[in-house]
């Protein structure tokens, strides 16, 4: 019988429908201002596309910062556990997971059994997260999806000294006004995310293999800068944004097997 995992993050909500270890369907939708409404809509959309109804689901596990507001969930589990579970399911060699979402970033260390051994988290400030990149893409007048390409065309790298998103934005605006190439600024911004993330990785200690999850994993320039900084290969799953919801769905299957 199918189960579901739902991850309601600060920017996006994901649902994964799973049946005996097989992903039946998944959706990614914007969270917007109402996480409860977004959760309901994401679930209905996923069920409709899969030709299922709510009563077909045996168990639902919710995760993400909006998990508390999801009344239809049977259980709520932290993002750390769910990302760990999802990543380990996709590749059992994974020991270090770097999740960079819209509002926070975290590094999770797994045992060879896939249990969470340690983690580090930045949820205090937007710097080093997807929101930071969104603000900077706007300042550079480029689409978010074009930020990595812009950065790849850089011939130099501008170091961004501000540690805070708001100050870094003013810094970027002033660099543009000084005629510094936008490519070089973009490169500097990606480097600053890589530097911050590498600091968190060092706190838990890096163990190979390393996987990146969350929406920012779709930005190739972040992945490349981070891979160079950490001097290791970084695995990017086919759909990095659903790993938390996938982990929740796997835990739901384990729950009904109990
Ligand atoms: N196609 C893309 N190219 C580049 N970046 C992208 C793309 N799609 C999403 N992102 C990045 O992913 C971020 C959102 O990531 P994600 O969906 O994992 O966040 P979230 O889970 O809602 O947030 P959190 O976990 O912090 O609550 C956006 O801020 C954006 O920077
Ligand atoms: Mg998230």
pLDDT digits (tens, 9 = 90+) for 15-51: 999 999 999 999 999 999 999 999 999 999 999 999 9
Tens of pLDDT along 82-126? 999 999 999 999 999 999 999 999 999 999 999 999 999 987 788
Lowest mean pLDDT among 111-115, 127-131, 171-175, 188-192: 127-131
Q: Which domain holds residue 136?
A: 93-236
How many domains would you assign to the chain? 2
pLDDT of 127 over the 90 cut: no
**Atom of ligand 1 lying closest to residue 31 CA:** 22
Cα Rg of the chain, angstroms: 19
| Whether residue 154 sits in one domain with residue 105 | yes
Work out which ligand 1 atom sits closest to the CA atom of 214. Answer: 18
User: Is pLDDT of 145 > 90?
Assistant: yes
For the residues 136-165, what does the mean pLDDT come to?
94
Residues 126 and 205 in one domain: yes
Q: List, chain by chain if needed, residues with CB within 6 Å of any ligand 1 atom.
A: 9-12, 65, 101-104, 130-131, 133-134, 144-145, 214-216, 218-219, 241
Note whether 101 and 82 are same-domain residues. Answer: no
- Round the average pLDDT of the chain to a whole number and report it: 96
Looking at the structure, do residues 165 and 254 belong to the same domain, yes or no?
Answer: no
Paired sense of beta strands 96-100 and 210-213, if any: parallel
Residues 12 and 131 in one domain: no
What CATH number does the domain containing 248 carry? 3.30.420.40
Look up tokens 């429908």; give the residue. 17
Q: In what order do the strands lie in the sheet with 96-100?
A: 116-122, 105-110, 96-100, 210-213, 234-235
State residue 128's pLDDT score: 85
Protein residue whose Cα sits closest to atom 30 of ligand 1? 130
Statement to judge: residues 57 and 183 lie in one domain = no
* Axis crossing angle, helix 165-177 with helix 130-139, rounded to the nearest 10: 20
Residues 163, 101 within the same domain: yes
- Whether residue 232 sits in one domain with residue 121: yes
Question: What pLDDT score does 126 carry?
Answer: 82
| Shared-domain flag, residues 220 and 116 | yes
Rounded Cα gap, residues 47 and 116, in angstroms: 31
Do 103 and 193 reside in the same domain of the chain?
yes
- Can you tell me which atom of ligand 1 is nearest the CA of 28? 17
Q: How confident is the model at residue 161 (pLDDT cuts 50, 70, 90)?
A: confident
Whether 116 and 19 map to the same domain: the answer is: no
Distance 246 CA to ligand 2 centre (A): 12
Q: How far is it, in rounded angstroms, from Cα 117 to Cα 249?
A: 21
Instruction: Please check whether residues 110 and 231 belong to one and the same domain.
Output: yes
- Tokens read off for 245: 């919801």
Q: Closest residue (by CA) to atom 8 of ligand 1?
A: 215
Distance between Cα 29 and ligand 2 center (Å): 12
pLDDT above 90: residue 255: yes
> Tokens representing 196?
């911050």
Distance 244 CA to ligand 2 centre (A): 7
Q: Per-residue pLDDT tens for 176-186?
A: 999 999 999 99
Which residue in 97, 96, 113, 101 sits closest to 63, CA to CA? 101
Q: Tell me the pTM.
A: 0.96
The pLDDT value given to residue 123: 77
Q: How would you classify the pairing of strands 116-122 and 105-110?
A: antiparallel
Calculate how far, in angstroms, residue 191's C-alpha sits from the geometric centre of ligand 1: 18
DSSP three-state, residue 12: strand
In angstroms, what is the span from residue 11 Cα to ligand 2's centroid? Answer: 8
Mean pLDDT of 182-205: 96
The span from the first CA to the last CA of the chain, in angstroms, equals 14
- Give 64 Cα–ligand 2 centroid separation in angstroms: 6
Pick the ligand that lies closest to the CA of residue 244: 2
Ligand 1, residues 9, 102, 123, 236: which to mutate, most atoms within 8 A of Cβ? 102
pLDDT band at 163 (very low <50, low <70, confident <90, very high): confident
């Amino acid at each position: 019988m199918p189960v579901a995992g739902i991850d309601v993050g600060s920017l996006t909500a994901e649902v994964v429908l799973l049946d005996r270890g097989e992903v039946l369907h998944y959706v990614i939708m914007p969270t917007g201002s109402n996480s409860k409404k977004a959760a309901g809509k994401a679930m209905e959309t996923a069920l409709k596309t899969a030709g299922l109804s709510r009563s077909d689901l045996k168990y639902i596990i919710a995760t993400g910062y909006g998990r508390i507001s999801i009344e239809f969930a049977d259980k709520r589990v932290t993002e750390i556990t769910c990302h760990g579970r999802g990543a380990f399911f996709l590749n059992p060699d994974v020991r270090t997971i770097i999740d960079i979402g819209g509002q926070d970033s975290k590094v999770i260390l797994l045992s060879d059994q896939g249990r969470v051994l340690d983690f580090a988290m930045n949820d205090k400030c937007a710097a080093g997260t997807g929101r930071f990149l969104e603000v900077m893409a706007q300042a550079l007048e480029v689409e978010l999806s074009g930020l990595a390409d812009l950065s790849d065309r850089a011939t130099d790298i501008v170091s961004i000294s501000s540690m805070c998103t708001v100050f870094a934005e003013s810094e970027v605006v002033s660099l543009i006004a000084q005629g510094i190439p936008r490519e070089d600024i973009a490169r500097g911004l990606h480097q600053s995310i890589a530097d911050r993330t590498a600091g968190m990785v060092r706190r838990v200690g890096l163990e190979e293999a390393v996987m990146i999850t969350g929406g920012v994993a779709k930005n190739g320039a972040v992945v490349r800068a981070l891979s160079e900084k950490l001097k290791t290969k970084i695995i990017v799953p086919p759909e990095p944004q659903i790993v938390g919801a996938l982990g929740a769905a796997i835990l739901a299957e384990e729950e009904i097997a109990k």
